[in-house]
């Protein structure tokens, strides 16, 4: 990982109208402030995670992210997380970041979302998404 690669991802966040905050906290996206909080460690998998959070930023800006549903409906959460990981691949390619281990990383992360109690997408009928 190079500082240049991190800079390219930060530039993408800025171009979308978001902010990057370097912190000791865990990596996460705050939709209220359009801020991605970024820890002070930067291996390749950390860049994959940042690209994923940029995917959530894109979803939010396109009105495709409902945080209440994300928290309360596992089928919706899995769909949103997969969409953010799909965005992340394109973002990484745009930034020139090596993606050879991306699919293994994504598989590991997506499997963690299956630990939540599952609710069917049918439960979303009639709910605003």
Is residue 74's pLDDT more than 50?
yes
Question: Does some domain include residue 129?
Answer: no
Q: How far apart are CA 83 and CA 35, in angstroms?
A: 19
Whole-angstrom distance, CA of residue 81 vs CA of residue 49: 11
Average pLDDT over residues 104-117: 78
Instruction: Note the pTM of the prediction, 2 decimals.
Output: 0.84
pLDDT at 122: 53
- For residue 83, the domain's CATH number is 3.30.2010
3-state SS record for the chain: CCHHHHHHHHHHHHHCCCEEEEECCCCEEECCCCEEEEECCCCHHHHHHHHHHHHHHHHHHCCCCCHHHHHHCHHHHHHHHHHHHHHHHHHHHHHCCCCCCHHHHHHHHHHHHCCCCCCCHHHHCCCCC
Residue 40's pLDDT band (boundaries 50, 70, 90)? confident
Count up the domains in the chain and report the number.
1
Find the domain containing 8 and state its range: 3-124
Residues of the chain with pLDDT > 90: what percent?
52
Residue 69 lies in a domain: yes
Beta bridge partners of 28: 37
Domain assignment present for residue 115? The answer is yes
Q: Is residue 18 part of a domain?
A: yes
pLDDT in tens, 48-70: 999 999 999 999 999 988 888 88
Position 118 in a domain? yes
Q: Tell me the average pLDDT across 81-104.
A: 94
How many Å apart are CA 76 and CA 83, to the nearest integer?
11
Average pLDDT, the chain: 85
């Amino acid at each position: 990982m190079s500082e240049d690669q991190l800079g390219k991802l930060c530039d993408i966040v800025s171009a979308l109208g978001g902010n990057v905050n370097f912190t000791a906290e865990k990596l996460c996206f705050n939709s209220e402030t359009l801020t991605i909080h970024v820890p002070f460690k930067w291996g390749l998998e950390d860049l994959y995670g940042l690209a994923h959070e940029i995917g959530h930023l894109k979803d939010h800006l396109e009105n495709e992210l409902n945080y209440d549903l994300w928290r309360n409906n596992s089928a919706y959460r899995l769909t949103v997380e997969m969409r953010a990981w799909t965005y992340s691949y394109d973002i990484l390619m745009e930034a020139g970041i090596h993606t050879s281990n991306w699919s293994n990383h994504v598989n590991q992360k997506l499997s963690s979302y299956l630990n939540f109690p599952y609710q069917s997408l049918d439960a979303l009928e009639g709910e605003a998404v």
